[in-house]
Amino acid sequence: MKAIQLTAPNKLELVEKPIPKPKAGEVLIKMAFSPINPSDLAFLSGSYGVNKGYPVVPGFEGSGVVVENGGGMYGRMLTDKNVACVVSPKYDGTWAEYMVTEAKSCVKLGKNVPLDQGAMFFVNPLTAISFIQMAKKESYDLIVMSAAASALGKMTLHLANEAGIPFIGLVRKEDQLEELVKNSVLAAIDVSKDSYREKLKSTCSKFRKVLYLDCVAAGETPYKILSCIPGGSKMLIYGQLELNQKPVIIPADMIFHHYSIEGFWLQKKICGFGFLEIFSMTGKVNKLLAGGFENKIASKLALDEFDKGLSEYVNNMSGGKVLFAM
Ligand SMILES: NC(=O)c1ccc[n+]([C@@H]2O[C@H](COP(=O)([O-])OP(=O)(O)OC[C@H]3O[C@@H](n4cnc5c(N)ncnc54)[C@H](OP(=O)(O)O)[C@@H]3O)[C@@H](O)[C@H]2O)c1
């Protein structure tokens, strides 16, 4: 089979490998699609929270058909079915023609969910659902989100609208404002403009407690944004897209405005979910992807076009997901 292999930080090659065999509790998936996500870029550079050594096939999530199972009731139920899947922590990833993973890391796709949309089933949808659950559970009355033109931003906005939670979307390019406004945000604000802080402050002042979702994390902008929202609010850092600067936290804000900063990583969060919670969340994602919400896809490329795919994605992340099509 063909696979993309990482041999050192940011060193990729296309290789021929034997098709892996599933053991008990595992399944073999003939991969259909797999996206490039920011977490993949971090994994390629060696800066992600998981390090599997080299050589390794990257790719955290995707879709395909289960063509073999190594035994076990769930694996047998999934055989010959279209599934969404995530990589096993023990094995190679999704950027390959075939992948073995635990049967419990797969979900049968609803009959109206196409395989391309199904390839983006786990990472962003489950994160967006977790954000909304947190907003409800901790009684936030407003969500402020950076990089709001991202796939995760759009999905979080969709779910916030559904839950009736007001949402302010922050972007860094003017041309990204229009789509946010069309999707009914309370305010869409371009943080590259000098005047952004006054607008953010006055819009936030009508609210009591804000959940500020941030994936930029470094430089001074994320912390200047925090200082515009009401005291007692929480900044939830779930990514670090700004790689060239260090974070510039304002200690006085933390002390006198009683802000809190917390981290979020789906991989850890998901370990705390029970079977019923996972069942209900994946049911919701199947419904969302079957209609009502569609991830924007910029292009579908063959595995051997990995250089083109990566540069296309990095140069226009808000333009939609680049998928490897096997
Ligand atoms: N912690 C978790 O468990 C978890 C789970 C899911 C996602 N995430 C994180 O969520 C974020 C969004 O993921 P996604 O898949 O939705 O991304 P995406 O659709 O690929 O979009 C990335 C977005 O980030 C913006 N961006 C890139 N570099 C930036 C920078 N330095 N400053 C400000 N904005 C920047 C891009 O805007 P431009 O068009 O302006 O470049 C684009 O809108 C990522 O950081 C990802 O790692 C974390």
pLDDT computed for residue 192 by the predictor = 95
- Give the up-direction half-sphere exposure of residue 241: CA atoms within 13 A in the CB hemisphere: 18
Where do the structural domains in the chain lie, given as residue ranges?
2-120+295-325, 124-267
- Cβ 294 vs Cβ 117: under 8 Å: yes
CA dihedral 85, 86, 91, 97 (to 10 degrees): 50
Instruction: Tell me the mean pLDDT in the region 86-108.
Output: 97
Summarised one tens digit per residue, pLDDT across range 140-157 is 999 999 999 999 999 999
Distance (Å) from CA 241 to ligand 1 centroid? 6
What is the pLDDT confidence band of residue 221, given thresholds at 50, 70 and 90? very high
Residues with CB under 6 A from ligand 1: 37-39, 123-124, 127, 147, 149-152, 172-173, 215-216, 238-239, 241-242, 264-266, 317-318
> What pTM was computed for the model?
0.97
Query: Collapsing DSSP states into helix, strand and coil, what is residue 197?
Result: helix
What share of the chain has pLDDT > 70, as a percent? 100
Joined together, the tokens standing for residue 101 give: 């993973």
Residue of 150, 154, 156, 266 to mutate, ligand 1, most atoms within 8 A of C-beta: 150
Residue of 120, 189, 215 to mutate, ligand 1, most atoms within 8 A of C-beta: 215
Distance (Å) from CA 38 to ligand 1 centroid? 6
For the cut 90, the answer to whether the pLDDT of residue 292 exceeds it is no
Helix (H) or strand (E) holding 201: helix 196-204
CA-to-CA distance for 159 and 2, rounded, in angstroms? Answer: 37
pLDDT computed for residue 272 by the predictor = 85
Distance (Å) from CA 77 to ligand 1 centroid? 35
Summarised one tens digit per residue, pLDDT across range 150-187 is 999 999 999 999 999 999 999 999 999 998 989 888 99
What is the pLDDT confidence band of residue 212, given thresholds at 50, 70 and 90? very high
Tell me the CATH class for 124-267.
alpha beta
Axis crossing angle, helix 306-315 with helix 38-45, rounded to the nearest 10: 120
Quickly name the fold that domain 2-120+295-325 has.
Answer: Quinone Oxidoreductase; Chain A, domain 1 (3.90.180)
